[in-house]
Amino acid sequence: MKRYSVIVALGLLILGLTLSVGAAPLKIGISKIVEHPALDAVEQGVIDALTAAGYERDVDVEYLLASAQGDFGVAISIAQNFQAQGVDLVVAIATPTAQAAVEVFRGTDVPVIYAAVTDPVSAELILSATDPSGNENVTGVSDMIPVAAHLLLLQDLSPDITRVGIVYNPGEANSVLLTDMALAAAPGLGLEIITATADSTANVPLAAQSLIGRVDAYYVTTDNTVVSAIDSVLAASEEAKVPFLMADPTSIASATLTAGFNYYEHGLTSGGVVLQVLSGVNPNEIPVTFQPKAEIQLNLDQAAVIGLEFPVSIIEQAAAILYGGVIFSK
């Protein structure tokens, strides 16, 4: 509630300063790389943040919503369409979409606010986390996940887990980075990472199946391609009778357990950044915002399918538990 109060107060101030009777509505383009629950939640969070701040949809603000369906070329076309339609601001959800928007709007005065971007520096969106001035119209919110902590969570889940399988798309910069982080952290934890690549949603099932019998657990990071076909990874984990950890709480129904950020909250946070920019703050004056709180969720239904009992230590950490198809929050 405190977050909403701040957003509302800021939004009312913005409305008083920037909107006048009869003024044309703001035009905001919101693009995401693909449609799946996490990115959909971010999109809704952004819209809800602006609505709570007093921006009435189709009165004070017009949203142009688009999905690139996993295709970077389409993401470029969407950004170009936004530019042709004269948008006042762009919200780009996920790393490839953000890269496309920054490329198209580079050198313009149209702000680009990214969301659900793992590492905006390595993605060349900004110069550094504290100095986004490399692209003066760009800033946003990172969803960098604690990869080493996730691997430790798998160790806590069972001492029998020594080989962790990761399905990822080598074409997604965010996913490559997170996979490399897992590969770097694993030896020090006594773990081995075994990877399987899928360059499209259609290839995710084959990649997941290729790990059966070779791994003791599956782990999927914030890879948009894989998340779009997440049920095929779940099916492989069930066939192999091994647990499946997802770095996305919105996917708890399709995993044994999840550890990550609430992506609706991420959208609200991103919406707060949009409101700062609309109030007159230059994007290059706003450092990268990092999502502050991760949470663990457990799926008892899926655990029963593979014959797994969660240790008490992990149950005590859980923010929510899915049982009988219903999610119970602590």
Which sequence spans correspond to the domains of the chain?
2-144+262-290, 147-260+294-329
Helix (H) or strand (E) holding 260, with range, is: strand 257-261
Confidence tier at 21 by pLDDT (50, 70, 90) = very low
Four-residue CA torsion sign, 38, 298, 311, 244: negative
* Superfamily grouping for domain 2-144+262-290: Response regulator (3.40.50.2300)
From CA 179, how far away is CA 121, in angstroms rounded?
17
User: Does the pLDDT at position 115 exceed 90?
Assistant: yes
Confidence tier at 217 by pLDDT (50, 70, 90) = very high
Fold classification of 147-260+294-329 is Rossmann fold (3.40.50)
The strand order across the sheet containing 318-323 reads 192-197, 163-168, 217-220, 244-246, 257-261, 294-299, 318-323, 326-329
Confidence tier at 129 by pLDDT (50, 70, 90) = low
pLDDT above 70 coverage of the chain, percent: 91
> Is it true that 2-144+262-290 and 147-260+294-329 share their CATH fold?
yes
Predicted confidence at residue 59, as pLDDT, reads: 95
Predicted confidence at residue 130, as pLDDT, reads: 65
73's CB contacts (< 8 A; 6+ apart) are: none
User: Does the pLDDT at position 302 exceed 90?
Assistant: yes
Which range, 105-109, 127-131, 242-246, has the best average confidence (pLDDT)?
A: 242-246
Averaged pLDDT, 10-39: 72
Confidence tier at 291 by pLDDT (50, 70, 90) = confident
**Residue 325 CB neighbours (<10 A):** 7
- Calculate the CA dihedral of residues 92, 31, 63, 86 and round it to 10 degrees: 80
Span 248-286, pLDDT tens digits:
888 899 999 999 988 999 999 999 999 999 999 999 889
Averaged pLDDT, 135-154: 92
Burial of 183 (0-12, 13-18, 19+ CB in 10 A): middle
